[in-house]
Structure 1
Amino acid sequence: MNKFMEVLENILLPIAEKLNNNRYLAALRDGFMVALPLIIFGSIFVVIANFPFLDKMISEDAYAAYQNALGPASAATLSIMGLFVIMGIGYKLTQHYGLEAIYGAVVGVASFLILNPQELGEVTGVIPTAILGAQGMFLGIFTAFISAELYRFFVKKNWTIKMPPGVPDSVSRSFSALIPITLTLTIFLIIRILFSFTPFETVQNFIYTIIQEPLTALGSSLPATIVVVLLIQLFWFFGLHGQIIMNSVLDPIWYALNDQNFSAFQAGTELPNVITKQFMDTFLVGMGGTGMTLGVVILIFLIGKSRQTKELGKLGGPAGIFNVNEPIIFGLPIIMNPLVLIPWLLAPVVVTIITYLTMSAGIVPKPAGIIVPWTTPIGISGFLATGNDWRGAALQIFNLLVVMVIWWPFLKVLDKNYYETEKKG
């Protein structure tokens, strides 16, 4: 095992070092770090607001009032986290160039808002919050990069307004940024206008269409499901919310299969499908969130030495129990981190295959079509999803151990890297 870890270090660490020195990837990483405190805050209240089976313990009105009271916590943070990431990327990239970083942040946000629809149905003058969150992340990241580069270009060309001596410094800086910001935003406005003449209408619609349409041909077989799982993981690695992208396309198929199983379960006949909505939600996502990162949290407590991973485990652990893993995804980080790409892709695929084969062979019951709340902890969710069968819970625990085995050497290398950096610092 030590020799294997040495090979991993020799291969992955040089790649990681080169990527970390890339100004765009560094800005991306640091931009997510800017948003991390808000993401953790929102994650905590998502768990509290959606505590499993609370809706069964109190009245419908009381539960609605409870969620309405806590809802703004996540709506103001997690639901619009893309906005904070854009700010962070624009700020950090502009700071890298030695320019006024705050203008890089604001021009990134303004450029992104210009590109997106500003109406909801027939109501104009509103911005749908969905595009400010995970759904708009991909467009937001590239908008932040491009807007910061355009702003830098115009500043370096010295296309700025020079104020006379004696003018307050804050006023002088504001006027010096006026022309570069105006030119940058004008370019994005032109892009928006050009897209309005296309069938897509907006850049956001264009991106989602070219990503989602090829996915509609995927079915519910094991090979197709493996492809779906890999795409979810890959999208997340590059900063896109893979679950939202894939679910929006495949949820109708998965729910239909789920209903077939539920009807058969009620009738006492053989369940027809292995792949259903609950297969995906309970035996993949329902193990700490996308990528089954509860296993990563447990490993952090077992083998973590660096301050960064230890503190992350403390922050991400409670949320991870209830399948909220944004703290781990953005804090480890998983996004654009080559040291974790292999286990991030491999573990869900292996678990998908194990789960599919054990259910197909009748070793573990197929999902019964019962909709289990997504925040239900591991073990309980597996038991309920398989029609109150202990084998569903046992399979989840076994899969969790598989995830930990796959992640162990890679997390060890990552933690060692952080630990060595902390010692030098």
Structure 2
Amino acid sequence: MNRLTKFLEEKIMPFAGKVGQQRHLQAIRDGIILTTPLVIIGSLFLILAFLPIPGYEGFMKNIFGANWSTNLLYPVGATFDLLAIFVAVGVAYRLAERYKMDPLSTAAVSLVSFMLVTPYKIPFTPEGIDKTFDVAGIPLALTGSKGMFVAIVVALLSTEIYRMIVKRNFVIRMPDGVPPAVAKSFASLIPGFVVVITMWILRLILQVTPFENMHNIIGELLGKPLSMLGGSLLGAVIAVIIAQMLWVTGIHGQALVWGIMSPVWLALVDENRLAYTAGEQIPNIVNVQFMDIFYSIGGSGTTLGLALILFFRSQSKQLKQLGKLAVAPALFNINEPIIFGFPMIMNPVMMIPFILVPVVVVTVSYFAMDLGLVAKTAGIMVPWTTPAPIGGFLATGGKISGAVLQLVNVVISAAIYYPFFKMWDKQKLKEEKEFSANRKSA
């Protein structure tokens, strides 16, 4: 145990700290967060359009002569179908902030760059004709989840080119007295022009290659491999192991790992959403909602079971008090009181179940869905603070099996944590008795 603790402290913590402070990864993580409230808003309308109530669908199709199931999907499309645009703006904005540049101008240039590398073609099949034509228009498939990887690459690339021009002082400077907004607009003229020219040339080059456009090349070289790994059980297990190991060194593991995997998992959520609204079989098990709803019950480490044990079974005063403080936040999947109060950080006893429990829970949840025992998540973005079993019920499109799986995971986590908790509780109780005895003798 001491060797493991020393290894984590000397090797893993410094490396993970450097990775966590890397400005591009931070910009991707913080930029993607921009999409979170928007897709949650869209998901609320998705829930309303498909409430699991007998006769609800027929009722919604004829309210005041209108099909309200279709009307409710308009906000869903306005949020989910523009994910890549939000990412192109958000990532560039956050990276520009870290470079101390004008974030709004940089974000605007990033958006223009993304639209410039996106082909304006929409497949159209006229009724009665067995042939598909390409018509001019903005393809929502590429401005949605499928375009997120391109949006990230374009945002980082355009911002770096923008910074390079600004750093060399190739900007138009207005005289003093000019309003700041006007001065910033003119200052962005030359850097923005260089970025647009670069992206335009890049598009022209890609047009004469077999890939045809950036979306195809990024999808083949980056999107498909990451989706295959991130959407698999192996990818999910690797993600939670890395996240938990970072947590025990004192680094917010979920923020770091989720920041890297979010583009993959959000795209898989959207694939499920499209299948769910079309009444087709839902394709993906692993995605953001799978990880947030079935792994993070009580917070990172699936610690709701441990919080309940602390509250009901603690013998030591210290852990009993911790249980009183931790159980309420744990119901809403917040477990900082446990991580820092138990503590889990550099704790040779508790780090074992803290890493083991998520692996077991993710594996059980995956096979439960793969075998058809539990419904897959339906592409509905439920806030990660939603308590169990409500979160599981909503995320699976109103299926009781999702709620039951959450409760099963709580029981599994409690069963694995319990023997380790008993060891720690016994040790703390002994320390309290010794402290009390020494205090009396003094």
TM-score bracket for the superposition, by shorter chain length: 0.5 to 0.7
Letter of the structure 2 residue corresponding to residue 28 of structure 1: I
Structure 2: how far apart are the matches of 1:247 and 1:167? 46
Contact 1:212 1:245 in 2 (8 A): no
Tell me the equivalent position of 1:207.
218
Tell me the equivalent position of 2:363.
350
Structure 2: how far apart are the matches of 1:213 and 1:40? 26
Structure 2: how far apart are the matches of 1:34 and 1:217? 25
Which entry has the higher C-alpha Rg, 1 or 2?
A: 2
Tell me the equivalent position of 2:40.
40
Tell me the equivalent position of 1:321.
none
Tell me the equivalent position of 2:201.
190
Given candidates 147, 152, 160, the residue that maps to 2:171 is: 160
Tell me the equivalent position of 2:143.
132
Tell me the equivalent position of 1:148.
159
CA deviations 1:214-256 (Å, max 9, x no partner) are 79999xxxxx9746867999998433334756998xx99xxxx
Partner SS, residue 98 of structure 1: coil
Tell me the equivalent position of 1:26.
26
What's the offset of the Cα at 1:192? 0.8
Letter of the structure 1 residue corresponding to residue 155 of structure 2: A
Given candidates 107, 110, 113, the residue that maps to 2:109 is: 107
Structure 2: how far apart are the matches of 1:91 and 1:146? 13
Structure 2: how far apart are the matches of 1:371 and 1:404? 24
Letter of the structure 2 residue corresponding to residue 43 of structure 1: S
Structure 2: how far apart are the matches of 1:380 and 1:245? 17
What's the offset of the Cα at 1:90? 0.9
What's the offset of the Cα at 1:182? 0.5
Once the two structures are overlaid, the 10-residue window that deviates more, 92-101 or 37-46, is 37-46
Tell me the equivalent position of 2:263.
240
> Cα–Cα, structure 1 residues 403 and 187, in superposed 2: closer, same or farther, change >3 Å?
farther
What's the offset of the Cα at 1:91? 1.1
Structure 2: how far apart are the matches of 1:173 and 1:379? 49
- Structure 1 residues 159-178: aligned runs within 5 Å: 159-178=170-189
Letter of the structure 2 residue corresponding to residue 61 of structure 1: K
Tell me if 1:76 matches 2:98: no
Same amino acid, percent of matched pairs: 26
Contact 2:93 2:103 in 1 (8 A): yes
What's the offset of the Cα at 1:206? 1.7
CA deviations 1:72-130 (Å, max 9, x no partner) are 32222233123222212111211212211111111111111111111212464421222
Contact 2:149 2:223 in 1 (8 A): no
> Cα–Cα, structure 1 residues 405 and 28, in superposed 2: closer, same or farther, change >3 Å?
farther
Task: List runs of 5+ in structure 2 lacking aligned partners.
Answer: 124-132, 241-256, 308-321, 335-354, 381-389, 421-442
Structure 1: how far apart are the matches of 2:357 and 2:104? 34
Structure 2: how far apart are the matches of 1:381 and 1:41? 14
Tell me the equivalent position of 1:398.
408
What's the offset of the Cα at 1:399? 5.2
> Cα–Cα, structure 1 residues 59 and 2, in superposed 2: closer, same or farther, change >3 Å?
farther
Please, what TM-score do these two structures have when normalized by structure 1? Answer: 0.60
Structure 2: how far apart are the matches of 1:152 and 1:217? 34
Contact 1:232 1:242 in 2 (8 A): no
Contact 2:289 2:395 in 1 (8 A): no
Structure 2: how far apart are the matches of 1:217 and 1:19? 24
